[in-house]
Amino acid sequence: MLSAPVRRSKSLSNPKRIEPGSTIGIVGGGQLGRMTAQAASRLGYKTHVFTPEKDAPASQVAGRKTVADYEDGRALGHFADAVDVVTFEFENVPWRCLEILARHVVVRPNPKVLEICQDRLPEKDFVNACGVGTAPYAAVDDLKDLERALSRIGTPAVLKTRRFGYDGKGQAKIADPAGAAAAWRSIERNPAILEGFVKFRREISVIVARGVDGSMATYDPVENRHVDHILDTTVAPAPIPLRTARAATRAATRIAENIGLIGLIAVEMFEAPGGAILVNELAPRPHNSGHWTIEGAETSQFEQLVRAVTGLPLGPTTRRGNALMKNLVGSEIEAWPSLVAEPGFHVHLYGKAEARAGRKVGHVTRLYPFDKKPQHADIHLGAKDRRARKDAS
């Protein structure tokens, strides 16, 4: 098992601790905010959610909620006056929202972190400036840019919108140069980035927490498998050599330190042939691939976020065993009666009113002894789910 110590880097400004009993403001009302609010409650903090949704998953468990548009300046001002620190639960919050809040209250992570991670181009530039590799890429603002980028990077390649893409949205694969115009139309001619196609063994991710004093704590790298561009299962730890795990962890902590993080960041990476690590995306908030930590680690990623943004000491990230996490997407939620009846299954349902296709509505985690290897088929929902997992393998 890769050890995950809490270590100290350079000190940061504003090390003031926010005491239990204070109120944490959470921007965003999804399941990540819901699980953050639950963790905050266990440590004695109150939570106040800011979301445009009337019955958002996070607001169902928080003490207070403000339902307003993310750029409603008056509502943001009242929200800032009612909380002691602000964090966010997804990175598609308009950057201006956090900029407004930061004039009135401490925001962690800093809005500048979100500004980098919201746009794939500065994100890739930042990662490379940290001395960490990525797939080859080029900015694309029009069809001629795309054609030039394809001639330099080659095919196959992936065209992605620079902002607001997730779970495969805003992406188009280009198999040969003749497909350039169709791909450009498919992303509605939005500012984009072309990325060279990477042959990789597996996708892995590392979650890093960094406190106000510069201390950092990392979770073991995990392996992620996708179905239809949506995360299907996560295995902890990733079945990779120790040297690869260490290289991935070094890359993630270097990024967390250089970006000036106070909070949590997930670094998604590819393990390329030969053991090279290439960063794919950054997510400066709790991450789907860290859900296993609720039952599988001494400190969950959600509690760790609370600790980081309030100035508490970071908690130990030691695994309690091996773990498998399976997302429940769309109609898969219908299997919940059998899942909650299964011994050893830890079921989390997010309280979403509608289980649309492609929508994450819950997850299940199963723990294993350290000497037993998790298998992706160990959490099954029926024949359809098994076929989908086989297709993704």
Contact 105, 86 (CB under 8 A): yes
**DSSP 8-state secondary structure symbol assigned to residue 160:** E
Would you state the pLDDT for residue 385?
46
Higher pLDDT, 26 or 6: 26
Residue 168 is assigned to a structural domain of this protein: yes
- Position of tokens 């639950």? 38
Residue 67 is assigned to a structural domain of this protein: no
Residue 39 is assigned to a structural domain of this protein: no
Residue 164 is assigned to a structural domain of this protein: yes
Would you state the pLDDT for residue 388?
42
Would you state the pLDDT for residue 13?
46
Residue 270 is assigned to a structural domain of this protein: no
pLDDT tens digit sequence for 91-138: 889 888 999 999 999 999 999 999 999 999 999 999 999 999 999 999
Average pLDDT score over the chain = 92
Number of domains in the chain: 1
Q: Cα 106 to chain center, whole Å? A: 22
* C-alpha–C-alpha distance, residues 27 and 376, integer Å: 33
Q: Is pLDDT of 256 > 70?
A: yes
Q: What is the pTM of this model?
A: 0.91
CA nearest to 189, candidates 151, 161, 164: 161
C-alpha pair distances (Å), 29 with each of 50, 89, 155: 7, 8, 39
Domain range for 187 is 136-196
Residue 369 is assigned to a structural domain of this protein: no
Q: Is pLDDT of 326 > 50?
A: yes
pLDDT band per the 50, 70, 90 thresholds, residue 390: very low
Contact 32, 285 (CB under 8 A): yes
Would you state the pLDDT for residue 16?
76
* C-alpha–C-alpha distance, residues 359 and 65, integer Å: 23
177: CATH: 3.30.1490.20
Least trusted range by pLDDT, from 313-322, 324-333, 336-345, 383-392: 383-392
Would you state the pLDDT for residue 387?
41
Would you state the pLDDT for residue 273?
86
Residue 162 is assigned to a structural domain of this protein: yes
Least trusted range by pLDDT, from 61-65, 66-70, 140-144, 372-376: 372-376
- Number of H-type helices and E-type strands within the chain: 12, 18
Residue 163 is assigned to a structural domain of this protein: yes
Q: Is pLDDT of 206 > 60?
A: yes
